[in-house]
Amino acid sequence: MNYRIKGLDGMRAIACLLVLAHHTLPRLPTSETLLSKLVQSFGEFGQAGVSIFFVLSGYLLSIPFWRSLFYSTKRPSYTEFIKRRLARIAPGYYLVLTVTTFYALSSSISVFDSQLIVRFTSAFLFLNSFHPVTLFPADINGALWSIGFEVLCYAMLLVSMMILFHFFPSLKYSAALCFILVVGLLSIFFHLIWVSIVGIPTRFIGWDYGIIGYARSWMPYTNPFSLFNHFVIGIIFGSLHIYAHAKWKQHGKFDIYLILGTILSLFAGIVMIFTIDDSFSGVFHSLYFWPVFPSLIGLWLAILPLTTHLFRVFDFAPLRFIAKISFGIYIWHMLVIEWVTVWLFPSFTFNGGMPLVDWFIAMIVTITFTIGIATLSWYRVEKPCLDWFSGRPRNKIIGLLARE
């Protein structure tokens, strides 16, 4: 599918910026003022950006399949799906995983032992999601935890679509949507089974036992099925996008609907911010207030392209650029924060007590270097690899590789 859906680049940029806020705003010097508490709480809320990423991925990746079904056209190639997903994720991820691991070793943050080898190998194979020892691929750059989950969600989406197209090729659109609802119910069932089998850790939990102890506090509720539930919501709203696109045209009434819905959501969000706990869990202890928060995001994604004015806000050029380099921002920002803390501002830590001016300067440095590295990652690593896999070499080196 070679068309861009209006406004969704902005949503990707917002997701990226929320995650960045989650790892920087809580480093703000704390005080008892309402503004300080609000900023700190918003920083905690920023972790919801991961949910937006997962819902958005399920939404966008399912749309070619839904279009094929709705308009009775040729289904997308499974091979191309796999190639493009790997080309999009693997090069940049492998680079930052390697840099992170070597930096941690050279700085004596990590020790070269069998455990490190297992963690690196499982992350390299995108299989870090199943055990607290491997959940975080390295002792720093914790944001890398979600990449393995995302790749497994790609696989589960693809398997779901393969079953749908191979075993139920004559299903009507509405019946196919019911099939995806069944997939979602199965994902919830497997989530509960996983929790029951793995059990809740009772020992060596929390930061006192290092990053693996912290990972134990995530288990067993943080598992591939729990995150796939966010993907499923994206898939469902992706189907509604195709239906809405065929049934309705852009209209100002959708701007009004979205504004009213946003006001209600913001009110609910403020309530959640002040009642949030570290688990940020929803139904069945699923992450990120599932299913309420991801469903609101899915509804946003479905309605935004139908608006006549609001989508332009999200198509603002700087947001589109942030969206373009968002993967690089996500995988590099915590490593940049580590470097800024070690080399420039040692008190740039959670509750570090640094002066407000120093915190502001540290933020500017962090954001500037993160965007710079992410830009280089996009233009020198990610985009050339995508062009190569798509048969569109953009420079002589990639061209030579393609001809080989």
Taking only the tens place, the pLDDT of each residue in 362-389 is 999 999 999 999 999 999 999 999 998 8
pLDDT beyond 70 at 1 = no
pLDDT at 288: 85
**Residue type at 226?**
S
Structure tokens at 206: 């929390």
Q: Where are the beta strands (DSSP E) in 58-193?
A: none
Higher pLDDT, 335 or 272: 335
Predicted confidence at residue 401, as pLDDT, reads 34
- At position 104, the amino acid (one-letter code) is A
Beta partners for residue 287, in sequence order: 281
Q: Is 47's pLDDT higher than 80?
A: yes
pLDDT of residue 111: 92
Residue type, position 245, single letter: H
**What's the start-to-end Cα distance of the chain, in Å?**
28
pLDDT score recorded for residue 322: 95
Give me the residues paired with residue 281 across strands: 287
Say yes or no to pLDDT of 396 above 50.
Answer: no
- Lowest average pLDDT, out of 97-101, 161-165, 273-277, 287-291, goes to 273-277
Lowest pLDDT segment from 47-51, 68-72, 217-221: 68-72
* pLDDT at residue 279 is higher than 70: no
CB 347 within 8 A of CB 354: yes
Rounded to the nearest 10 degrees, the angle between the axes of helix 224-247 and helix 173-198 is 170
pLDDT of 32 > 50? The answer is yes
Run of H or E residues at 69: helix 49-70
Q: What residue segments make up the domains of the chain, in order of their start?
A: 8-403
386 class by beta-carbon count within 10 Å (0-12 exposed, 13-18 middle, 19+ buried): middle
Both tokens of 316, joined, read: 């603002």
Q: How confident is the model at residue 64 (pLDDT cuts 50, 70, 90)?
A: very high
Q: Confidence class of residue 271 from pLDDT cuts 50, 70 and 90? A: low
With beta carbons less than 8 A apart as the criterion, state whether 328 and 141 touch. no
Query: How confident is the model over 257-274, as a mean pLDDT?
Result: 74
Contacts of residue 88, defined as CB under 8 A and 6 or more positions apart, other chains included, come to 327, 382, 386
For the stretch 293-332, pLDDT in tens is: 899 999 999 999 999 998 999 999 999 999 999 999 999 9
* Measured distance CA(380)–CA(351) in Å, rounded: 37
pLDDT digits (tens, 9 = 90+) for 128-185: 999 999 999 999 999 999 999 999 999 999 999 999 988 887 888 889 999 999 999 9
Q: Phi-psi region for residue 285, left (φ > 0), alpha (ψ -120 to 50) or beta? A: left
Average pLDDT of span 262-270:
73
pLDDT tens digits for range 211-255: 999 999 998 999 999 999 999 999 999 999 888 888 888 888 898
Residue 278 has pLDDT above 70, yes or no: no
Q: Which residues of 110-138 are buried (b: 16+ CB within 10 A; e: fewer)?
A: beeeeebeebbebbbebebbbbbebbbbb
| Spatial separation of the C-alpha atoms in residues 242 and 240, rounded to whole Å | 5
H helix runs in 199-223, sequence order: 210-218
Indicate the average pLDDT of the chain. 88
- The whole-angstrom separation of Cα 6 and Cα 175 is 28
Here the tokens at position 207 are 């930061």
Task: Note whether 159 and 82 are within 8 A (CB).
Answer: no
Does residue 403 have a pLDDT over 80?
no
Q: Name the percent of the chain lying above pLDDT 70.
A: 91
Q: CB of 187 within 8 A of CB of 255? A: no
Structure tokens at 151: 């790749």
Nearest-CA neighbor of 16 among 28, 4, 24? 24
Q: Cα–Cα distance between 82 and 84 in angstroms, integer?
A: 6
Q: How confident is the model at residue 40 (pLDDT cuts 50, 70, 90)?
A: confident
**pLDDT computed for residue 400 by the predictor:** 34
pTM: 0.92
97 pLDDT band (50/70/90 cuts)? Answer: very high
